Chains A and B, each alone.
Chain A
C-alpha cells in the first residue's frame, strides 16, 4: 500500500465516521409548562431522527433574553435554536441575525398558523421564527362573586362596566378585591398591561414622527382611570404585583377579576393549584367604544441564528416542535387541555380541543382581535401591541413603568408621572436619533 492510498483511506474513514456521528443541537428555551412538556416528549423526535441529539439550556425568561441576545449580537454560536419572543423577532430579523425558515417541509402547512401571530413573525414576506405557543390577554372573573352581586359579565365588556363591577364586588374586610391588575414596574410587567390598555383608550406611545405622546389627554384618561380603579378596588401593595403575584391572589380567592395573559386560564382552572378552579369565567379584554380592545399579542417562537452550522437539522426540529403532529402527540400523551395554544387555526376547529379547553374560544377571539401593525386608534410608526418593537423599548418601557408604578403607589401624581415619562422618552428618542 503506497502512501497515497493510505492517506485516501484514512481521509475517507474519518469522513465516514464524521457522517455517522450524531449531530447535536443546542436549544435555548424558557422555563414554562409547555416548553418543559416538549422536552419530555423529544423521544418522539429523536426516534424519527436518530442522527440528531438534543441538548437543552432552560433559563428564566429575563436571564434567557440577556443570554441569547449577547450570543447572537456577538455571533457566539452557542445555540442552534433559540426561543425568542414576538418583541425580538422583527428587530433581530432586520439586523440580519436570524435565518428565514424556508424549508420547514411540505407537511408543515404554514397557512394554518394564526394570521395575527404569523404577521408578527413575518418580515418582507419571510417567516423568521415559528410560533410554539401564542397568547393574548383577557378577563378572568369569579362567576360566584358576580352572581352574588347580581352582575352578568358580557362576552365583550367595556371598561366602565369592569370598573363598576370591580367596585361592587370589593369587600376589603373579607380580603376580596374587585380587580387585580399588574403594577410592578417593568417593560414586560406593568407596561405590557398599560400599553395594551392605553390602546383601548386611544393613546399611543408615539405619533407618526416618533414624538412621544404621554402629554396627550388619552394617556391621562387611561392612567387616571387605572390608578383610581386600583385605589378603590385593587389589592393593597398593587404596585409590586406582577403576573405571578396576581396569579397567586386569584388562585387563593382574593380577586374578583384579573385581566392578564390567556395562558393563565389553564392555571386558574387547574383544581390542583387553584381554590377557585370551578368558578372562573372568561371574557374579552375591555374596550372604551373606540374600536380597539386592550388585549395584547405574544408568542414564544423558535428561530435559527444566522451563521448556524446545523441549519438542516435545526429546521427539522422546528418543523417537528411547531407542526400539527406535535399537537396531536401532546393530546395523545397528556390530553387536549395541555396542547400548546394560540398558534394554529386547525386546533381551534378541533371539537375535542374545544371540549377539553373551556377557554379556547375566548383565547382565539382575543388573539384574532389583536393587530400588531395597527395597535391603537390612531396610526403609529411601530409594530407591537403591548410593546414597541424597537431595541430601545426595553430600557424605555422599564423607565416609564417605574413612573407609572410610583403613581399607583401614591408616591407621585398621575400628572407628574406622565410629565416625567414624556420628558425621559423625548430625551432617549432624541439621543437614539428617532427625533431629529
Chain B
C-alpha cells in the first residue's frame, strides 16, 4: 500500500527540493547569462538578471581567439579513454575483491584509496620528469594514462560496492553450468551490474572532464583539453568576466548535456543496489 502523504507535505517537499535545486544550479545559470552580457554589464551593480542587451559577441571573440574544437576533442579522448581503460582494469579487480576476498582485501582497498589522499602537487616534479623522459609531455596518451591512474581507485571502490550486492550464488550457478572465468564476468556479472557500471562510467567521465591539475600541468599546445581553454580566459589583471563566462559555458555544455541525457541511469545506479 502506498504511503499516505498529505498535500501539504507534498507542497513543502516540492518547494524545498526546487529551492535546493535552483540554489545548486544558480552559478551555472549565472555564468550562462553573463556570457551574453557586455563586459560593462557583467560587472554592473546591481546586476540585471534577464533584462539587458543580449549579445553573442563574447562567443564570437572566443571562437576567433581559440581553437575550441581541438580542446574539445582532447577532452573527449582523454575523459572517455581514461574511463574506458579504467573500467577494463577495474572490473576484474573489483570482481576478485568482491567474490574472492582474502584477509588483506580491506587493506588493499584502503591502500588504493590512500593514494587519493596525497596532494597532487606533491608529486608534480617526479611525474613531470617521468613524462619528460618517456616523451609523454603534451600528448593525449600521457593524459589518458595519468587520469586512468588517478581515477582508478574511485572506479574500483564504486564497482566493488555494486558487485558486493550481487549474490555469489548466481555466479556459482554459472560456474556449475560450465561457464569459464571470462564468460562468468562478461555474460553473468557485467549484465547484472550494468546500472552500477553505467553510473561509474558517467561519474568518472565527469571527473576526468573537469580534472584541472594534471591536464593543465602536463599539456602545452597539442594535448590541452578544455580546462586549459578556460584557463586562457581568466585574468587577475583585467575584467573579462563575460568572455570567461562564454568560454566556461562552452566548456561545460557537452558534459552538462551528457549528464542530462543520462540522468536517469546515473540516479538509478547511485541510489539502488545492482540487483534490487
Contact = CB atoms under 8 A, between A and B. Distances in A.
Interface string A57-100: 11111110011001101111111000000000000000000000
B43 A248 contact: yes
Contacts of A71: 128
B188 to A, nearest CB: 47
A77 B39 contact: no
Contacts of A275: 40
A349 to B, nearest CB: 27
A339 interface: no
Contacts of B228: 57, 59
A272 B66 CA distance: 23
* Contact-residue size bin, chain B (C-beta under 8 Å from the other chain): 20 to 34
B40 A272 contact: yes
A393 interface: no
B232 A31 contact: yes
B250 to A, nearest CB: 16
B230 to A, nearest CB: 9
A350 interface: no
B220 A28 contact: yes
B117 interface: no
A115 interface: no
Contact of B132 (A26, A59, A66, A77): A77
A59 B233 CA distance: 7
Q: What is the predominant secondary structure among interface residues of chain B facing chain A? A: loop
A263 B236 CA distance: 12
Interface string B24-51: 0000000000000011100111000000
Contacts of B23: none
A61 B39 contact: no
Interface stretch (A165-173, A239-247, A340-348): A239-247
Contact of A267 (B66, B221, B238): B238
B275 interface: no
A247 B40 CA distance: 11
* Contact-residue size bin, chain A (C-beta under 8 Å from the other chain): 35 or more
B125 interface: yes
Interface in B202-243: 216-217, 220-222, 224, 228, 231-240
Nearest to A31: B235
Contacts of A247: 238-239
B213 to A, nearest CB: 10
A244 B238 CA distance: 6
A33 B217 contact: no
Q: What is the predominant secondary structure among interface residues of chain A facing chain B? A: mixed
B129 interface: yes
B236 A62 contact: yes
Nearest to B212: A63
A60 B235 contact: yes
Nearest to B44: A252
Contacts of B104: none
A36 B234 CA distance: 13
A56 B221 contact: yes
Contacts of A63: 216, 231
A76 B132 contact: yes
B237 A261 contact: yes
Nearest to B233: A31
B237 A244 contact: yes
B137 interface: yes
Given A74-B128, A78-B137, A252-B45, A67 B237 contact: no
A76 B237 contact: no
Nearest to B124: A70
Contact of B125 (A32, A59, A70, A252): A70
Given A70-B128, A188-B236, A59 B138 contact: no
Contacts of B65: 36, 39-40
A59 B239 contact: no
Given A39-B65, A57-B220, A74-B132, A243 B232 contact: no
Contacts of B66: 58
A274 interface: yes
Chain A CB count within 10 A is highest, among B66, B124, B132, B237, for B237
B43 A76 contact: no
Contacts of B233: 31
Contact of A244 (B44, B128, B236): B236
A434 B232 CA distance: 37
A72 to B, nearest CB: 11
A78 B129 CA distance: 12
Contacts of A267: 238-239
Given A39-B65, A252-B44, A273-B39, A60 B237 contact: no
B221 A57 contact: yes
B221 A26 contact: yes
Interface string A270-296: 001111000000000000000000000
B40 A274 contact: yes
A32 B231 contact: no
A251 to B, nearest CB: 7
B45 A242 contact: no
Contacts of B129: 74
B220 A32 contact: no
Interface in A218-254: 242-244, 247-248, 251-252, 254
Nearest to B216: A63
Contacts of A36: 65
A77 B240 CA distance: 31
Nearest to A254: B45
A416 interface: no
A392 interface: no
A381 B38 CA distance: 47
Given A33-B238, A55-B222, 7 more contacts: A31-B235, A60-B232, A61-B235, A63-B216, A73-B125, A247-B238, A248-B239
25 contacts: A28-B220, A31-B232, A32-B238, A33-B238, A39-B65, A56-B221, A57-B221, A60-B236, A61-B237, A67-B216, A67-B217, A70-B125, A78-B138, A79-B220, A244-B237, A244-B239, A247-B238, A251-B40, A251-B43, A252-B43, A254-B45, A261-B237, A272-B39, A273-B39, A275-B40
Interface of B: 38-40, 43-45, 65-66, 124-125, 128-129, 132, 137-138, 216-217, 220-222, 224, 228, 231-240
Which 5 residue pairs across A and B have the least CB separation, nearest first? A58-B232, A55-B221, A60-B234, A248-B43, A78-B220
